Amino acid sequence: IVWGDFELLETVEEVISFYRTYGEERWLVVTNFSDKVQPFSADVSVEQVMIENMPTDVTALADYSLAPWQAFVVKVSQ
């Protein structure tokens, strides 16, 4: 996920999230940099979980609650 277009998403202060688009591929990167549960919402269809640091259900991201220190990258539909 080094190359491609970068789109930073607006989130709460403790969360960093962005899209990376390269060719026909689009990924969503989400990271909670705090020791508290944080809100996150994205209106996307998750196609595949690429990597995650804890086993959770990241298939529906509308009104999602990020666990403390949770991070993942998912492939999404464009």
CA–CA dist 68, 45 (Å, integer) = 23
Q: What is the pLDDT of residue 60?
A: 86
Q: Which domain range does residue 49 map to?
A: 5-76
For residue 20, what is the domain's CATH number? 2.60.40.1180
Q: Show pLDDT as tens, one digit a residue, over the chain (78 residues).
A: 678 999 999 999 999 999 999 999 999 999 999 999 999 999 999 999 999 999 888 888 999 999 999 999 999 987
Looking at the structure of the chain, the number of domains it has is 1
Contact (CB, 8 A) for 52 and 71: yes
**What is the amino acid identity at position 66?**
L
